Amino acid sequence: MKVTYRHAMGLFSLWFFLMTVSLFSRYYIPIDETRYVTVAWNMWLRGDFLVPFLNDQAYSHKPPLLFWLMHLGWAIFGVNDWWPRLVPSFFGLGGVFLTMHISKILWPGRDSTARMASVILFGSLLWTVFATATMFDMLVAFFTLLGMLGVLIAWRGAVWTGWLLVGLAIGLGLLAKGPTILLQILPIAVLAPWWGKGADVVWKRWYLGILSAVVLGALIALAWAIPAGIRGGAEYQHAIFWGQTADRMVNSFAHQRPFWWYLGLMPVLLFPWLLWGGVWRGLFKLRGDMGDIGVRFCLAWAVPVFLAFSFISGKQVHYLLPIFPAFALLAARGLDSLEVTPGRMARLGVAIFIMLAGVMLLLMPHLSVRLVWAEWMLHIPATAGIALLLCGGILMMWRQMRVEYQVWLTASVSLVMVLVLHLAIIRTAGLAYDIRPISARIKALQDAGVLVANDGKYPGQYQFAGRLLGSIEETNARQFSKWFDAHPDGRIIFYFKPNDSKPFDHDRADFIQPYRGGSVGIYSREALLPSP
């Protein structure tokens, strides 16, 4: 118990350190983070907590749970920048501890497996990055883990408690990101006769339990969706009841990413673990343990979901986050079964990768002659590359240590890369990803009664950052003249890329700053349109 407590405090301390660094080193990154916090801000201003809004339009792309959790913190602490960024990180940390608990259920008495599984998950680069991002994926991962725990509890005999937990996980998952939670949880429940064979389970009752959990989850989601649909009108009803299911599936198949896209990215998705020979040795050893219920459980959890997302051509790396715990559990179980401790050479792949990343950062300013970089990328400090080179060297320094210590050492590689990302790369980007200055300027214009429009579709990035009370119109280059005819004193937000020609009078812009890979400015008619 004492060791478990110390382990938990170590994980919590690292989480607290990473979140502190993230909060003080960057702002919300456009476009996703700024859009989601803006939706919460619009709901807060309207006092409408049923229908999410973006720029005075009903926002049907995501359900409201994340926005509600933002409102909860604002109701307690007042409207602030830091609370919405903490919400997903709480779920990420909770997911790490749920993984440790599930490991103890699958493999009782193997505390070292549980500890290593939590470190492998926490030390996965993608998990750590998204745990500091204001997005929905950590919520989905947490509710997936909650559903897995419920399935295991039901399988062990506490039927009502287990299925109640699964139903709660499905309902909250639906409110977090829609029907994707069903794809995450249902396969493991349906495949229980394979992974849980030999258990004293009446399978007809088992599948009745699955159905009851789905019904409970649907009722939880409908408790919001029905009144929200009534409030939002016919178009919004169609969007949340049909667009979140059939339309989204159709659109996802319309994208062009090949079946093998995830497979090709696996070393990056599961960095640093698939580059460490120790993990491969452990997974290879599990071939002889296919009778282990825990091994089969993790395979039934991860494989169907991975295949399903591989067939759906609309792919994003964070879609796979909910199955990362299954990999962490398998990797930890394999490492814990090794009879020979992995040596220094097993860490060579991780060391080479991180040192190459360090060399790349050092050479980036010198490659600017041949490659087109954003201006800020040429000023990334050399200390970032040196830190990665040192990390790779330190990783190879120790010849022999316990497997559990090697897991912590390998996990530290991801933590160093996240620190470099926040303290060197994002800080160097500066205003390219910090839209507070231009947002403050838009706020001043609106307060003065000046109408502001955005060139192209407006994703809401300035609303919360500037605490805007009014909306921003949308226009495009073909309509500039007509828009200015209707609003002679208005301003248009216009965007430039590094290789764009610049026929406009930038010196006469109201405001201009770097923005992502280019720049953004606020322009009057005289500055934006050429004279007759």
For residue range 137-193, list pLDDT tens digits in order. 999 999 999 999 999 999 998 899 999 999 999 999 999 999 999 999 999 999 999
Which of 179, 224, 187, 231 is CA-nearest to residue 46?
A: 231
DSSP letter for 77, please. Answer: H
For residue 465, tell me if it sits in a domain: yes
| Structure confidence at residue 255 (pLDDT) | 47
Residue the block writes with tokens 């360090």: 358
Do 444 and 364 sit in the same domain of this protein?
A: no
pLDDT band at 368 (very low <50, low <70, confident <90, very high): low
Q: What are phi and psi of 184, to 5 degrees?
A: -75, -35
Q: Which of 386, 401, 432 is the last residue of a domain?
A: 432
pLDDT of residue 254: 44
Residues 238 and 140 in one domain: yes
Give how far Cα 329 sits from Cα of 122, 184, 302, Å. Answer: 12, 16, 11
CA distance 52 to 368: 43
CA neighbours within 13 Å on the CB side: how many for 141? 32
Asked whether residue 391 is assigned to any structural domain, the reply reads yes
Q: Do 412 and 442 reside in the same domain of the chain?
A: no
Six-digit token string for 37: 């916090």
pLDDT, greater one: 238 or 246: 238
Cα separation of 128 and 116, whole Å?
16
Least confident of 39-43, 380-384, 480-484: 380-384
Q: Cα–Cα distance between 464 and 45 in angstroms, integer?
A: 11
pLDDT at 220 over 80: yes
25 contact partners, CB below 8 Å, separation of at least 6: 422, 423, 426, 427
CA 141 – CA 326 distance, rounded (Å): 11
Report the range of poorest mean pLDDT among 74-78, 255-259, 435-439. Answer: 255-259
**Looking at 412, 432, 452, which one is the last position of a domain?**
432
Does pLDDT of 503 surpass 70? Answer: no
- Is the model's pLDDT at 83 over the cut of 90? yes
**E strand or H helix at 491, and its extent?**
strand 491-496
In a domain, 211, yes or no: yes
CA distance 85 to 97: 20
Domain shared by 523 and 447, yes or no: yes
* Residue 32 in domain: no
Query: CA-CA distance, 81 to 76, in Å (whole number)?
Result: 14
Whole-number Cα distances in Å, 17 to 6, 13, 22, 45, 418: 16, 6, 9, 33, 12
Residues 455 and 370 in one domain: no
- Based on the domain organization, do 421 and 484 belong to the same domain? no
Average pLDDT on 463-482 reads 92
Which of 385, 410, 432 terminates a domain? The answer is 432
Highest averaged pLDDT of the listed ranges 70-74, 408-412, 470-474, 493-497: 70-74
128 belongs to a structural domain: no
Looking at 48-57, 253-262, 352-361, 386-395, which range is the least confident one? 253-262
Q: What is the per-residue pLDDT for 506?
A: 64
pLDDT, residue 241, reads 82
What radius of gyration do the chain's Cα atoms show? Answer: 25
pLDDT at 373: 62
Same domain for 446 and 384: no
Instruction: Report the pLDDT value the prediction gives residue 531, as an integer from 0 to 100.
Output: 56
Provide the domain limits for residue 407.
344-432
Residue 41: inside a domain:
no
From 327, 324, 323, 306, select the one nearest 315 (Cα to Cα): 306
Q: Is residue 324 included in any domain, yes or no?
A: no
Specify if 7 maps to a domain.
Answer: no
Over residues 19-47, the mean pLDDT reads: 94
End-to-end C-alpha distance for the chain, whole angstroms: 80
Asked if pLDDT for residue 72 goes beyond 80, the answer is yes
Tens digit of pLDDT for each residue in 391-440? 998 888 877 788 999 999 999 998 999 999 888 888 888 888 999 999 99
Same structural domain, 140 and 238: yes
- Is the same domain home to 446 and 493? yes
Residue 315 pLDDT grade (very low, low, confident, very high; cuts 50, 70, 90): confident
Instruction: State yes or no: pLDDT of 505 exceeds 60.
Output: no
- Residue 276's Cβ-count burial label (10 Å; 0-12, 13-18, 19+) is buried
- Give the range among 22-36, 43-57, 256-270, 327-341 with minimum mean pLDDT: 256-270
Q: Does one domain contain both 175 and 235?
A: yes
pLDDT at res. 365: 74
Q: How many structural domains does the chain have? A: 3
Say if CB 317 and CB 373 are below 8 A apart.
no
Q: Helix 348-363 crosses helix 403-420 at what angle (to 10 degrees)?
A: 10
How much is the pLDDT for 425?
87
Residues 445 and 370 in one domain: no
When the pLDDT of each residue in the chain is averaged and rounded to a whole number, the result is 89
Per-residue pLDDT at 344: 83
What one-letter code names the amino acid at 295? Answer: V
On whether both 412 and 458 belong to a single domain, the answer is: no
